[in-house]
Structure 1
Amino acid sequence: MIMRPGQQLLLPANPVFIWFTLLGAMLLNTFLSSGIWGRAAWAPDLLAITLVFWGVHQPLRIGVGVAFVFGLAMDVQQGALLGQHALAYTVLAFLAVSIHRRLLWFDVLTQAVQILPLLLVSHLLQLIVRMIAGGSFPGWALLLSPVIESALWPVVTVLLLAPQRRAPDPDNNRPL
């Protein structure tokens, strides 16, 4: 792949780190939903951001199947309609994998703007499934959640790419 000028060559992502971040995001979602905010409609879904990130950066390792399994786990954890998060995360992972080549050519702030519609679709799917099942409308604060998640994209990118930016002992034979 041709790299942009000034783009750093990254080390391969460790699969253990990928799974650790996904499980950590799920546990953090669990902690935040039972903490101060409760199940606030505007609260960001950190697992969704993490799934999009790894779907963009490691599409062969994290894809639709992984998103489906984590979606089912989130449905069980939140006591939501079974399949609500699974459907939303599956569509989100599919969209992330389908735009990953184009998205990586942009800087992080432009990526955040382009991730916003994906996150909005995910939240709208969850809302539609909830409303069809007879749930109540959570309010217009629901529209804040994808905006907050999109604003968190640069932070997530810096944190999750940090282990890949380590310098791999350069010498005369390996200058990179």
Structure 2
Amino acid sequence: MPVEPRFIWLTLFLAWLLNLLPWGQVGGIPDALAICLVFWSVHEPRRVGMLTAFVFGILMDVHGSARLGEHALSYTLMVYLALLMHRRLSWFSPWLQALHVLPVFFVSELTVFSIRGWLDGTWPGWWWALNSVISALLWPLAGWILQAPQRRPVDPDDTRPI
């Protein structure tokens, strides 16, 4: 079944709220909003695009007191790369999709840490790359959760519980 636009915006809003929690500063915790943005830009490219990614990136920059545009550039680049491959990803299984979106998450993280390293003059090491690997490993689970409403029966009846 087709996805309802309200569900898309609800999941993006909940992922944004999840990113506002304080554990986002700990290494190894993936960016839930990034996973959600990539997922919806792959599966619903007409509804979630680069403008959505830019706006959520600005919101994340304001919340984290980061340089304005750091996350906005990262999210916009990430959604752009996801839009480039959205037709190809639908042919693959969720685990192969995860392998394809791994470079997308890596480039997104690399963008943020390159900007920080260039402007601050410090490099945090390569531990930040773990976030992109964990995000790619969570891709099948995110797909299963975010596509759950689409798996409901087309013609519900009283004898089936779901």
TM-score greater than 0.5 by the shorter chain: yes
Residue of structure 2 equivalent to 1:84: 70
Partner of 1:138: 124
Spell out, residue by residue over 1:16-47, the C-alpha distance to the aligned partner (whole angstroms, 9 max, x if none). Answer: 1100100100111111xx14xx6123321110
| 1:152 paired to 2:138 | yes
The one-letter amino acid of 2:6's match is V
1:84-123 Cα shifts (integer Å, max 9, x gaps) = 0000000000111110000110000000000000000000
Paired with 1:120 and 1:108, the residues of 2 have a C-alpha distance of 18
Number of aligned positions between the proteins:
157
Same amino acid, percent of matched pairs: 49
Paired position in structure 1 for 2:109: 123
Structure 2: gaps spanning 5 or more residues:
158-162
Change (3 A) 1:24 1:88: same
Q: CA deviation at 1:137?
A: 2.3
Amino acid at match of 1:29: N
Match of 2:86 in 1: 100
Summarize the alignment of residues 58-69 of structure 1 with structure 2, pairs less than 5 Å apart: 58-69=44-55
Note the aligned Cα RMSD (angstroms): 1.4
Give the Cα–Cα distance (whole angstroms) in 1 for the partners of residues 91 and 133 of structure 2.
22
Please tell me whether the aligned partners of residues 41 and 138 of structure 1 are also in contact (alpha carbons under 8 angstroms).
Answer: no
The letter of the residue matching 2:52 is V
Deviations, residues 111-147 of structure 1 (Å, cap 9, x unaligned): 0000000000000000111112216322321010000
Query: 1:154: how far off?
Result: 0.5
Cα deviation, 1:21-76, whole Å, max 9, x if unaligned, reads: 00100111111xx14xx612332111000000000000000000000000000001
> What is the CA–CA distance in structure 2 between the aligned matches of 1:135 and 1:45, rounded to whole Å?
24
Structure in which a larger fraction of residues adopt helix? 2
Q: Distance in 2 between matches of 1:70 and 1:102?
A: 26
**Residue of 102, 105, 111 corresponding to 2:97:** 111
* Counterpart for residue 9 of structure 2: 19
Aligned to 1:6: none
TM-score (norm 2): 0.92
CA distance in 1, matches of 2:155, 2:105: 39
Amino acid paired to 2:31: D
TM-score for both structures, normalised by structure 1: 0.85
